Amino acid sequence: DGARNLNLDSIPMGLPMSDPTAWATAMNNLGMAPMGMTGQPLLPDFDPALGVMTGIPPINPMMPGLGIVPPPIPPDMPAVKEIIHCKSCTLFPPNPHLPPPATRERPPGCKTVFVGGLPENGTEQIIMEVFEQCGEVIAIRKSKKNFCHIRFAEEFMVDKALYLSGYRIRLGSSTDKKDTGRLHVDFAQARDDLYEWECKQRMLAREERHRRRLEEERFRPPSPPPVVHYSDHECSIIADKLKDDTKFLEAIQTLLTWIERGEVNRRTANNFYSMIQSANSHIRRLVNEKAAHEKEMEEAKEKFKLALSGILVQFEQIVAVYHSASKQKAWDHFTKAQRKNISVWCKQAEEIRNIHNDELMGIRREEEMEMSDEEIEDPPEMKETEESALVSQVEALKEENDSLRWQLDAYRNEVELLKQEQGKASRDEDTTKEQQMKLLQQALQGMQKHLLKLQEEYKKREAELEKVKEDKLKVESLLENLKEQESSTSRVCACSQEKECPAEKTLSNGLVKSEREVLLVGIISTFLHVHPFGASIEYICSYLQRLDSRICTAEVEVLMTRLQNTFRQELSGVGASLEKRWKFCGFDGLKMT
């Protein structure tokens, strides 16, 4: 198979023609000009009309495939091999009709061939003389059993050596059996070839890895710039960048890296605090920017709503023009084609108007839903605004209901007019009027459905308004009842204070001046009794302010200092952790008093 694909011109072997006369005779029999393998004529005085074979017309040398350069050998045609003359031996080609000699599977990186069928009297010099024409021979290992192994310098030389497989070799002009043999050339598996092939593959793999690494490095994004180390100069630069909106992101990343590195200490704490304060002030700028964008969005929504309402008004006017043109006074003067166009235009305008109207109603519903969400969060004082909004919505629904009724009446009148015209018109116009009737009936049904929906919404709104009014009345009645209960309880408390608590009058002249202070003393005593190790005045006031937000720290501290037999102030802690704590000493004070 390798010999078929082998180009004879590329083989650096001398393959002389064995018998030029026989070759010229064969081409003469075919009626062709005898030419050698290189394209030179063998018989210059050849006449194509003198062909020996009868029945075959002379062949023109200019016919396709018969130029000076012979055409390539097709793969299904056996290659023609010639006799090869060497100094010490002669190689005779095998029979071209026989199948090519079988070979084993080619090992990877094969540079060594097995040569069998050598003559018994063959030497390494003869073998070198035959196979050095295939390429540079590195080594020959000859055996005593008429075979040898030949290692070439390159892999392609092995293919040239396989071309000689099947040739019969004869030493000199001797016909002795020991001086003849039939060559069999095949691939051989050698460790040196495999090792060199593996080394070459590893080198190619290294080159491929290096190429891929360079490709990855070329497409890899550049690494971010390193963060500078902290210093007073860099700190001042970052502080200025934090105040600039365009450089804030870079500065805040640097500040975060410094804090994570642990650059904060007692010496740099003030600088870091100022930078954090600048970052906090940036929040206000962000909030203002968001508010500005929201304002722009609201303005854009308002502009869109106004433009859409203006477009709807124009659509209503156009539809009104179509309806007026469809009346009998003007309709009779139009031709059949004009009436058809007017009805189609009217239908299209109504469809577009309904689409825009639905869009505007959707925007209003979204605004109403947003308003309802805001109203849920508002206190009960905003119920009056809810009532006014509901009233306005009810009025708007009433207006829409009236307009739809008028449109419905107009459609009914148009239907009656069409019925009257149907009896007067000719048979040719019956089909168009029936279609118009169907369209008007469909539009009428749609308007009726829309009217029913609006009536249901109107009823729902009225029910909601009634519920709101009932809730308002209930709330007012509850408020009146609460006011009456408060007045009655205040009277009862006043009477009980006069009867059961005459001691309060005496207490008002003493250390405790009011009932409120008595309640405070009791609550503070209970709180400090639970905290036997004492508590600071801020802790006590935070507890009291949960009960009454009007209590201030100064009032409590004055009251506790006035009652020295009940509360005692002590200092606890050392150095910076020094703290003033109040303790309850009522049990000890009771014994002393």
Which residue bears the tokens 């102030």?
569
Which residue bears the tokens 């200019």?
62
Contact present, 181 and 119 (Cβ < 8 Å): yes
Q: Cα 164 vs. chain centroid, distance in angstroms?
A: 64
| Residue with more model confidence, 155 or 43 | 155
Q: Cα 5 vs. chain centroid, distance in angstroms?
A: 53
Q: Where are the alpha helices (DSSP H) in 243-335?
A: 248-261, 269-325, 328-331
Per DSSP, the chain holds a count of helices (H) and strands (E) of 16, 10
Work out the pLDDT band at 187, boundaries 50, 70, 90: very high
Work out the pLDDT band at 190, boundaries 50, 70, 90: very high
Q: At what angle do helices 336-377 and 269-325 cross, to 10 degrees?
A: 150
**DSSP code for 35:** B
Instruction: Return the pLDDT at 157.
Output: 94
Q: Where are the alpha helices (DSSP H) in 132-268?
A: 156-162, 191-219, 232-242, 248-261
Can you tell me the distance from the alpha carbon of 150 to that of 139, in angstroms, rounded to the nearest whole number? Answer: 6
- Per-residue pLDDT of 57-101, as tens digits, reads 444 443 444 333 445 455 455 566 888 888 889 999 988 888 888
Q: Which is nearest to 350 in space by CA: 444, 448, 458?
A: 444
- Per-residue pLDDT of 301-333, as tens digits, reads 888 888 888 888 888 888 888 888 888 888 888
pTM comes to 0.31
- Per-residue pLDDT of 399-422, as tens digits, reads 777 778 777 877 787 777 777 777
Can you tell me the distance from the alpha carbon of 284 to that of 290, in angstroms, rounded to the nearest whole number? Answer: 10
Q: Cα 28 vs. chain centroid, distance in angstroms?
A: 77
Q: Which residues 6+ apart lie within 8 Å of 136 measured at CB?
A: 152, 153, 154, 157
User: Strand locations in 549-589, DSSP E?
Assistant: 567-572, 579-584
Q: Which residues 6+ apart lie within 8 Å of 369 measured at CB?
A: none
**DSSP code for 9:** G
Rg (CA), the chain: 58
Can you tell me the distance from the alpha carbon of 591 to that of 589, in angstroms, rounded to the nearest whole number? Answer: 5
- Per-residue pLDDT of 33-42, as tens digits, reads 555 544 555 5
Helix, strand or coil for residue 385?
A: helix
